[in-house]
Chain A
Amino acid sequence: TQLLEQSPQFLSIQEGENLTVYCNSSSVFSSLQWYRQEPGEGPVLLVTVVTGGEVKKLKRLTFQFGDARKDSSLHITAAQPGDTGLYLCAGINTGTASKLTFGTGTRLQVTL
């Protein structure tokens, strides 16, 4: 079974701070996705990274796929209360087509 470990598990910060969430695996993935999940809702896709070393930006969020395609990071600049939620990475493998393997999750709380 492929595992995607996320760190930290929990993060509580104040508005305006920066943070980085990590997603690590011993396995290689063909692509990786990041989702955000709010209480009482399902996960919502934020981004898909496909190429090793790829960097994508979504407003204050920066996503990076590791060169070896085994890890990824999500950096949030100047966090806002609206960023609060559960962040999940999910790996996709060549051999499993539609199947996503989700990470363990990072629960972020941003306070005023």
Chain B
Amino acid sequence: DTAVSQTPKYLVTQMGNDKSIKCEQNLGHDTMYWYKQDSKKFLKIMFSYNNKELIINETVPNRFSPKSPDKAHLNLHINSLELGDSAVYFCASSQDSGWRLYGYTFGSGTRLTVV
């Protein structure tokens, strides 16, 4: 069973479109995250939710809107996609927002290409 699953794995879309990426975890973790990995391979946090409540928003443009219907799901909706949004987006989860010692579990990533 996949612990953290993201869909879709690949997403190619045109500028100006709106798209969503879904994430689900079956680990019973309280906290979920979205990370962005750019073309230079740097990983940066975007958002964090703890029990459906937003706790981290790292100055991400308003076009990005996370939604957590329950603590097992954290979706990412992106409006008016731009070329610079092309990246790999990783979902992750952890035991709680206080960063338990055993770290995070990451999904396999969604490669978004905006053309």
Say whether A and B bind each other. no
B residues bordering A, Cβ < 8 Å?
none
A residues bordering B, Cβ < 8 Å?
none
